[in-house]
Amino acid sequence: MMKFEDLKNELNKMSSSDKDKFIAELRNDCICHECPTYNNCTRKSKELLFCILGKSNCPMDERACLCPRDCSVHQKYDMKLSFYCSRGKETERRAELYTINI
């Protein structure tokens, strides 16, 4: 299993076109569209892969999050959080969680 930090480092090394291809492949495994929180607005705009691409531009009503339990992308990259669609992507939120204010 590739850890999330490894994924982040790999994505940063990729060319723009390689990154686009890789993201397109991950979108195929994404289950956001099956989630109770996914709504008509996100469906119309075809938003997916919030864990990597960031939160939705649509208003979100958090109902339940399938990511930790059912998402192969979440599990494959050992992600730790949930509700990416409304709260933001893993990288931003980890940075917030692990920042120590002295």
Is residue 71 within 8 Å of residue 37, measured between CB atoms? no
* Cα 69 to Cα 21: distance, rounded to the nearest angstrom: 26
Residue 69 belongs to a domain: yes
Helix axes 90-97, 4-13, angle to 10 degrees: 120
Residue 60 belongs to a domain: yes
Is residue 72 within 8 Å of residue 82, measured between CB atoms? no
The domain of 45 spans 4-97
* Cα 23 to Cα 29: distance, rounded to the nearest angstrom: 10
What is residue 65's three-state secondary structure?
coil
Confidence of residue 84 (pLDDT cuts 50, 70, 90): very high
Residue 98 clears pLDDT 90, i.e. is over it: no
Task: Look at 98 and 96; give whichever has higher pLDDT.
Answer: 96
Average pLDDT over the chain reads 93
Residue 16 belongs to a domain: yes
CA dihedral 94, 96, 97, 100 (to 10 degrees): 130
Residue 38 belongs to a domain: yes
Q: What is the mean pLDDT of residues 81-96?
A: 92
13-61 confidence digits (pLDDT tens): 999 999 999 999 999 999 999 999 999 999 999 999 999 999 999 999 9
Residue 102 belongs to a domain: no
Question: For residue 84, how many other CB atoms are within 10 A of its CB?
Answer: 26
Domain count, the chain: 1
